[in-house]
Amino acid sequence: MSELINVIGLGYIGLPTALMMAAKGLKVTGTDYDAQKVQNLQRGNLTFKEAGLEELYQKACRNGIEFTQEYKEADFYIIAVPTPFNKKSKKVVADYLVQATENVAGKCRKESVIVVESTVSPGTIDRYVRPIIDRVNREQNKAVHISHAPERIIPGRMIEELVHNNRTIGADSLEIAAKVKEIYMSFCEGDIALTDIKTAEMSKVVENAYRDINIAYANELVKICNEADIDVYELIRITNKHPRVNVLTPGPGVGGHCISVDPWFLVGDYPGLANIILAARKINDSMPEYVLSRISEIMEEKGIEDVGRVGIYGITYKENVDDIRESPTLQLLECMKKHLARGIKLYDPFVKVDVAENQYHDFETFIAGIDMLVLMVAHDEIKGKYGQIRHLTILDTRNVFQGDGIFKL
Ligand code: SAJ
């Protein structure tokens, strides 16, 4: 295929996607408005860690991928820019998407196809992207098409999932959807379902809300079991023997830029209808506060008076990634501020920059200064270090360690 693909937004989704397409021999240019990011990528410095990303980068470079701040005249555009939500109205903020579409509209060819990969609430493309494209088609006598191909890859297994996950492609006609499918088939070995744009938009948000609801169920159970003095993990192990039951794992909260954000789109757009979805969000958002109450209880039981002698292990939103967006630990720190509890120590082997006060970058020094460890993230790194922490009071929110005296949620 000699057509040019311009991937807009070289973040967690855009970068692996651009690299994958280039590695498979497609002609790709990656565009980002962040000069520093572009420079880093041009110089071979990857902007985040992910299994297999480095190898993919090398292959894409050998195949001639380019990184630039410019928007190219291309046949296909893949837009993978952030779509945050307004914390008050709970609605999607489409500013980056609108800006990217405007920039692309100024460059596109007569029959370019613009594929939005960013997660959006149903109707966003009609509301924000379509008017721009309609205007360009009218004013410049073009026939530019829109498509939506929501990403589904999970941090930690992005590259593998990019290849093996099934996908959804929405477009205004089957012909355009099939054209987009051809691009994705260069690397995607999963089934690719073709549908309309609005259904594709809805499918993505529904998938993440589904997972949020299921995690909320596990988190609600942990609170009930604590009250009922039942081991929730034993309970879940048993209930999951039922052929149609699969309770997920309770944890200290739900972080990341997907599951803790996307369900709000439905709550914002369908107030009064999105009831389970709202309840799940509230339950998952309540977990850091719950962890804080467990910390206080345990400190009291163990006679630990100074919160400065408590250390949090893990700042990222989940294990073995370096992404801290909306992480339960950051949510916990916010709760602590509210309660004027300061001085807690922190450590995360994946987080090299300082994101909080009293953050340590050396595990031994961190451990030396605490009497109680709160394990918030189950990085593989901690699993081999039990010998170094066994003398401490441990609150293990991820059920990593077994044994007497270890506190759980
Ligand atoms: N978590 C639990 N208990 C569980 C599972 C997860 O507490 O049993 C927590 C995690 O620790 C984390 C949060 O939930 O804080 C979310 O983690 P995750 O691993 O469930 O999902 P994400 O956010 O990394 O990726 C999700 C995926 N969506 C679904 O599985 C439906 C991924 O496929 C999407 O591509 C991604 O969101 C996205 O970008 O939308």
- pLDDT digits over 206-263, tens only? 999 999 999 999 999 999 999 999 999 999 999 999 999 999 999 999 999 899 999 9
Residue 285 has pLDDT above 70, yes or no: yes
Does the C-beta of 211 come closer than 6 Å to ligand 1? yes
The answer to whether the CB of 209 is under 6 A from ligand 1 is no
User: Which residues have a Cβ under 8 Å from the Cβ of 112 and sit 6 or more positions away?
Assistant: 74, 75, 76, 77, 104, 142, 144, 145
The SS3 assignment for 300 reads: helix
Ranges of beta strands (E only) in 17-152 are 27-31, 66-68, 76-79, 113-116, 145-148
In 117-255 the beta strands, taken as DSSP E runs, fall at 145-148, 167-171, 192-195
**pLDDT computed for residue 233 by the predictor:** 98
Question: Which atom of ligand 1 is closest in space to residue 255's alpha carbon?
Answer: 15
> What distances in angstroms separate CA 111 from CA 3, 16, 114, 175, 333, one per listed residue?
12, 26, 10, 13, 50
pLDDT for 90 equals 80
Is 142 an active-site residue? no
For ligand 1, atom 11, which residue shows the shortest CA distance?
318
Ligand 1 and 377: CB distance under 6 A: no
Q: Are 285 and 264 in contact (CB under 8 A)?
A: no
Encoded tokens for 56: 């993919």
**Residue 340 pLDDT level (bands cut at 50, 70, 90):** confident
Cα separation, 177 vs 236, whole angstroms: 42
Residue 136's Cβ-side half-sphere holds a number of Cα atoms within 13 Å equal to 23
Cβ(212) to ligand 1 under 6 A? Answer: no
Ligand 1 atom index nearest CA of 258: 40
Tell whether the model's pLDDT for residue 107 goes beyond 90: yes
pLDDT of residue 89 exceeding 90: no
> Residues 339-342: contacts with CB within 8 Å, 24+ apart?
339/292, 341/292, 341/307, 342/307
Predicted local distance difference test score (pLDDT) of residue 183: 97
Question: Is the Cβ–Cβ distance between 113 and 177 less than 8 Å?
Answer: no
Compute, in angstroms, the gap from residue 113 CA to the centroid of ligand 1. Answer: 30
Over range 73-92, report the average pLDDT: 92
Measured CA to CA, the distance from residue 253 to residue 276 in angstroms comes to: 17
Q: For the chain, what's the residue count?
A: 409
pTM for this model (two decimals): 0.94
Active-site annotation holds for 258: yes
Please give the single-letter amino acid code of residue 215.
I
Check if 319 has its Cβ closer than 6 Å to any atom of ligand 1. Answer: no
Q: Is 80 in the pocket of ligand 1 (CB under 6 A)?
A: no
Q: What percent of the chain has pLDDT over 70?
A: 100
- 207 C-beta closer than 6 A to ligand 1: yes
Q: Is 258 in the pocket of ligand 1 (CB under 6 A)?
A: yes
pLDDT of 85 strictly over 90? no
The CA 319 to ligand 1 mean position distance, Å, reads 11
Question: Which atom of ligand 1 is found nearest the CA of 256?
Answer: 23
324 touches 330 (CB < 8 A): yes
Q: Whose CA is nearest to atom 8 of ligand 1?
A: 249
**Res. 62: pLDDT tops 80:** yes
Q: Say what the pLDDT of residue 48 is.
A: 86
What pLDDT is attached to residue 91?
A: 84
Strand 145-148: give its sheet, edge to edge.
66-68, 27-31, 4-8, 76-79, 113-116, 145-148, 167-171, 192-195
Residue 167 has pLDDT above 70, yes or no: yes
Residues whose CB falls within 8 Å of the CB of residue 68, separated by 6 or more in sequence, listed in order: 29, 30, 31, 38
- Across the beta sheet with 345-347, what order do the strands follow? 359-360, 345-347, 310-313, 372-375, 393-396, 406-407
| pLDDT tens by residue, 111-159 | 999 999 999 999 999 999 999 999 999 999 999 999 999 999 998 899 9
Question: 266: CA distance to ligand 1 center in Å?
Answer: 18
> Which neighbouring-strand residues pair with 311?
345, 373
Percent of the chain with pLDDT over 90: 92
pLDDT higher than threshold 90 for residue 339: no
**Residue whose token pair is 């340590």:** 360
∠ CA(98), CA(72), CA(128), 5° rounding? 15
Residues 298-338 pLDDT 10s: 999 999 999 999 999 999 999 999 999 999 999 999 999 88
Q: How far is the CA of 360 from the centre of ligand 1 (A)?
A: 27
349 lines ligand 1 (CB under 6 A): no
CA of 270 to the centre of ligand 1 (A): 23
Q: How far is the CA of 33 from the centre of ligand 1 (A)?
A: 28
Ligand 1 within 6 A of 119 CB? yes
Ligand 1 geometric centre to CA of 210 (Å): 10
Give pLDDT, residue 1.
Answer: 60
Identify which of 208, 221, 320 to mutate to test ligand 1's pocket (most ligand atoms within 8 A of the CB). 208
Distance (Å, whole) CA 13 – CA 97: 14
